[in-house]
Structures are given as structure tokens and as C-alpha cells.
Chain A
Amino acid sequence: MDKHQYEVGKEQTGWGAYAALVGGALFLSGIFSRRTDWLRFFDFTTLLGAHGRIPVEAARLTFRGTGGSGAREGFMFSLELMPAVMLALGVVGLIEGLGGLAAARKLLTPLLRPLLGIPGAAGLALITNLQSSDAGAGMTKELYQAGHITDNERTVFAMYQISGSGQITNYFGTGAALFAFYQLVPIIVPFLVIIAFKFFGANMIRLYIRVASQRGTAATRTSAAG
């Protein structure tokens, strides 16, 4: 299965792919959720709809009811959430199938050197990590073995991967459990914060390795001189 995911990079990136990427991003961003006109249809929360309510006295409840606890409540909570996960990953599947992720890779590849200090060859693994931790890690190993990245670059890249790994799957999948609580910010905001910190963390270790290696070289020089 992992091998097939590599094929993302071989797909063509026409204008349709960029349209899929931009359209998908807008759909999942939640920025159309508060509109009152027809554009409201193009939003994740709108298409997710609502569970039916069970009228009990004055309260209006979903099938989850109220006051549940423990394993039973956890199960019902997950059950209530499953349509959200299916819709989110269905849309991700659509974006991917239309070449949207390949378009994202093309846009990001020239930025890898300035952003992470790693070569553009790592672009596919970078995008793959957003979907699958294991596939991304496997590709990182192959990048090193093929001589595309150095040992230190691999460490920096792995740091990017380990914090907030598999973010498209984990944020729009499992993380969807918390979407209902985002009363103040659009769904896309915490996601962007996560992506920003992925790059931040990688640059911290990049800086650390640079400082540590300079100190190491200095120490070697001193001992050689001594």
C-alpha cells in the first residue's frame, strides 16, 4: 500500500490539480461556514449536516442523549463523530485523486531549502508525512540511502515529521472530535498552527545541530592544537 502512495509524485499537475488543492483547502477551511448566501454549501460543517433530535420534554437531544459517561459514552461519542471523519477523508481522497497533493508538492519543493535546509527531492516524503507517518518515514530512509540527504538533514526532516505527524489524517480524522468545540476560530486555524510548529521544531533542531557541530569542530581544533 505504501508503494502505491509514492505514485502521488508521478501524477500530472495541470490546472485541475491546483484547482482541486485550492478548492479543497477552501472547503475544509471553514471560512464559508458563517455565510448566509448560497456559497454556504461549499463548507465542511454545512455538508456534515446535523443528527436528528429526540425531543424529550423541553430538551433537544441527539441519539447520544445526555449525561452519559465511561466506555459507553466514549463509544457513542465516536459513533456520532464517524460521519465527520468519513466526509473529511472522503474530501481528502478527492483532492488527492485529482492531483491536489501533487500540486502541493510542486509548490513546496522550491521552498524546502530555505524552510528546512533540505533538498527539494524530499518534497514527496514531506507531503506523504501529512497523510501517513509510516510511508513518510520509509521514504526518508530511502532518501538517505540514495544519497539525496545527509545524516543531519535526515534528523532535521525527521523532526519535522515526528511533531504533528500524519496531520491530514489525524487532524481531519481523529481530531475532528474537537471541531464542535471550536466556537471562536475556523477549523483551519489550529491546523495552520500545527503546520507552522512542524517547521519551527525542525528549525530548532537544525540550529542545535549547527551549533553543536561548530562547538565540536572548535573542540577538535583546540585538542589538535594542544
Chain B
Amino acid sequence: MQQAQSARSNETVMDKFVNGARRGFTVATVNMLPNVVMAFIIIQALNVSGLLPLIGQVFGPVMALWGLPGEAITVLVSAFMSIGGGVGAAAGLVGTRHLSFTDATILAPAIQLMGSLVQWVGRILGTAEVNSRYWPHCVVLAIINALLAMWVMRFLVALF
């Protein structure tokens, strides 16, 4: 891969696309697929154990603030761990008909904005050596970003 990158100047347009597509294949197989499979397994476990309806009931009133069913909380919690998990949970819940297409659309930016925070704390705040006094602020603000974005998306979905 390094070789391919250092030879960038000699690349044809085709090469540029193919190298990007290769990266896409790696992202899809290495990052996305295992996370999505895990999310589907969790949704399956919650569904079979009867915990999912319970979660739906308990978090129903909270998620109703964004016009979403209570089960949507599992998407946000999974996203917090990994973006792939959040995306997988959303897709899985659409599959089990707990979420509508519109619900998934409203959740999409939130999954990214509070996505993988567990990993980013180390990989971004740690690597950049950000003043650790502000680490909690960064995490909380990222979650607030996600919650506000769901309202914006709800508005936009109604608008289009």
C-alpha cells in the first residue's frame, strides 16, 4: 500500500479509483462487517430474550422527544461504542420493523456525531495530547451534538 501511495504521481485516473475502491473493500470487511454482525447479534439476543420490548417501553417517553420509538436508544448506545455497531443496530431494527425508514434517516447523523466516542477519546484526545481537564466536556458535547442533530433531521425530513 505504501508503495502504491509513493508512486502516486505515476498513477492513472483508473489507479486512483481502484486504490480508493480497495480501501473501501478494506473498510467494509475489516471495519464495517464485524461491527455490523455484532450489532445484528445483539439485536437478535435482545429480541429473542424479550428485552427489546422492555427497552422500547422504558425509553419510549425519552425517545418520543425526537419522534422515535424507545428501541432507538439501542442504536445510540451501540453507536457510542462504534459507528459500525450503531449503523448495524439501526439496519437491524429496520429489518425487525422496530424502526421506520424515516427513523433511520433521523438517527443517521446522530450515529456519526456520537459514534465511536469510546475509541476517539484515546485515538484523538489522547494522541493529540489534549488537556485532560476538557475530555469530559468533549464527550458530553459530542453527545449533545448528536441529540440536537436528531431534531434538525426531523425538521429536514418533514421539509423535503
Chain A positions near chain B (C-beta within 8 angstroms): 1, 4, 7, 68-71, 73-75, 77-79, 81-82, 85-94, 96-98, 133-134, 136-138, 140-141, 144, 151-152, 154-155, 157-159, 161-165, 167, 169-171, 173-175, 177-178, 181-185, 189-191, 193-194, 197-198, 200-201, 204-205, 208-209
* B9-17, B52-60, B61-69 - the one binding chain A: B9-17
Query: Are the C-beta atoms of B153 and A71 separated by less than 8 Å?
Result: no
When distances are taken between beta carbons in the complex, the residues of chain A under 8 Å from B152 are: 193, 197
Q: Given A133-B120, A205-B138, list of 19 further CB < 8 A pairs?
A: A70-B44, A75-B37, A85-B27, A144-B128, A154-B128, A154-B130, A154-B131, A159-B137, A163-B145, A164-B115, A174-B27, A174-B32, A178-B107, A181-B105, A184-B102, A191-B109, A198-B113, A204-B144, A205-B134
Query: Which of chain A's residues have a CB closer than 8 A to the CB of B160?
Result: 184-185, 189
> A residues within 8 A CB of B88?
74, 77, 177
Q: How far is the CB of B72 from chain A (nearest CB, A)?
A: 13
Assembly CA distance A71 to B39 (angstroms):
8
B41 / chain A contacts, CB cutoff of 8 Å:
70-71, 74
Residue contact A165 to B120, C-beta cutoff 8 Å: yes
- Kindly state the separation between the CA atoms of A75 and B130 in the bound complex, as whole angstroms: 38
Q: In angstroms, how far is the closest chain A Cβ from the Cβ of B47?
A: 8
When each residue 23-42 of chain B gets 1 if its CB lies under 8 Å from chain A and 0 otherwise, what string results?
11101110111011111110
Q: Is the CB of A85 within 8 A of B28?
A: yes
Closest residue of chain A to B137, judged by CB?
A205
Q: Is B51 in the interface zone, CB < 8 Å from A?
A: no
- Separation of A97 and B132 alpha carbons in the complex (Å): 37
Residue of B nearest to A152 (CB): B131
CB nearest neighbor in B for A11: B8
Indicate if the CB atoms of A197 and B113 lie closer than 8 Å. Answer: yes
Interface string of B100-118 (1 = CB under 8 A from A): 0110110111011111110
* CB–CB B124/A174 < 8 A: no
- Distance between A155 CB and nearest chain B CB, rounded to angstroms: 5
| Chain A residue at minimal CB-CB distance from B35 | A174
Q: Which of A89, A152, A163, A167 contacts B20 (CB under 8 A)?
A: A89
Q: How far is the CB of A193 from chain B (nearest CB, A)?
A: 5
Closest B residue, CB atoms, query A187: B108
Structural contact, A190 and B108, CB atoms closer than 8 A:
yes
Q: Are B31 and A174 within 8 A (Cβ)?
A: yes
Collect the chain A residues with CB atoms within 8 Å of residue B21's CB: 86-87, 89-90, 93
Contact partner of B134 (CB less than 8 A), chosen from A155, A167, A198, is A155
The answer on a CB contact under 8 Å between B123 and A205 is no
Tell me the bound Cα distance from A134 to B125 in angstroms: 10
> Once the chains bind, are B124 and A165 in contact (CB under 8 Å)?
yes
Given the interface pairs A94-B13, A158-B125, A194-B113, the reply to whether A183 lies near B36 with Cβ below 8 Å is no
Contact residues in B for A69 (Cβ distance below 8 Å): 40, 44, 47, 95-96
